[in-house]
Amino acid sequence: MLTSFTKYLFLSLCLVLSFSATSVEYRLPPKGSSVIGENQYFVVPEGKQTLEEIAAQFQLGLTNLMQANPGVDPFLPTPGSTLIIPHKLILPDTKRQGIVINLAEMRLYYYPKGTNTVQVLPIGIGQVGRDTPENWVTQVYRKRANPTWTPTKKTREIYAAKGEILPDVWPAGPDNPMGLFAIYIGNLYAIHGTNASFGIGLRVSQGCVRLRDDDIEHLFNSVPVGTRVEFINQPIKVAEESSGGRYMEVHEPLSRTQEEFESTAPVALSLEKNVTRFIAHEQTDSFVIKRLLEQRTGIPTRINP
């Protein structure tokens, strides 16, 4: 039997977080607040289920789940073990308009016009050396179902070095690396699907933004041409809530070189001025800050008593 408190908690969560096959939708917090959603917990069932399959079930990228659950085997998580499902987030520190892509956390935020909601979808981004642009504001120029793919000269050279010759134009269809839907945001870049069964939450693309099939179809049908699109890179997000709580969310920053990417050592974190000012507060718990900067779980954590 549910207690009155449990019923209240369940109803409260339903009001701020809803699931569909294609996105996690949050109701936007009141003005001055930035923390949304709540974390969940999932017990790994018996049988062979990869972390990628669990991530897809909960609308997460693989990196989101791995950061929140360090040490878990991505190929065969232990049956009976409990995973944190990181659905509590701090909204990126930028305009809550159109599409916002935070490369560091590999998430896409879509603020549908005329609603008080934000939809959050996991993404794959560009490989080291084929980086997805950052600090860039553009827009949706056009959309196309069943797109073709025209590999760049550099892309063809990279594939040729591996012994694979790409055609000048890859025809549309389920085998097309761009999937079945594409949202074009510039001459060289698009938000598109994939013909692969993995790679969301990883650095796998040639620079474009990659989504799972259901997610790109949903976005394709939802986002109008002309929608603002902003690319940011915020591995650290902070928020001060009206309740007095001060929160910090730390992700692993993006590797800048192949050596960094292949190294087992953590990538160095640099603190932006706004983050430095935020944590230089008399109530900040320095031990919590140290733990967050070391662990980088991507989970918002209160840093004051």
Cα–Cα distance measured from residue 188 to residue 107, given in angstroms and rounded to the nearest whole number: 20
What is the strand order of the sheet 236-240 is part of?
236-240, 246-250, 301-302
Please report, to the nearest 10 degrees, the dihedral formed by the alpha carbons of residues 64, 67, 68, 70 taken in order: 140
Catalytic residue among 14, 87, 208, 251: 208
Q: Is residue 87 flagged as an active site residue?
A: no
- Show the beta-strand stretches assigned E in the chain: 17-19, 24-27, 35-36, 40-43, 82-85, 89-90, 98-102, 107-111, 117-122, 125-126, 136-139, 142-145, 181-184, 190-192, 203-205, 209-210, 228-232, 236-240, 246-250, 301-302
Cα–Cα distance measured from residue 229 to residue 247, given in angstroms and rounded to the nearest whole number: 26
Catalytic residue among 87, 192, 218, 251: 192
Cα–Cα distance measured from residue 278 to residue 288, given in angstroms and rounded to the nearest whole number: 14
Q: Is residue 14 flagged as an active site residue?
A: no
Q: What is the DSSP letter of 77?
A: P
From first CA to last CA, the distance across the chain in angstroms is 34
Residues with a catalytic annotation lie at 192, 208
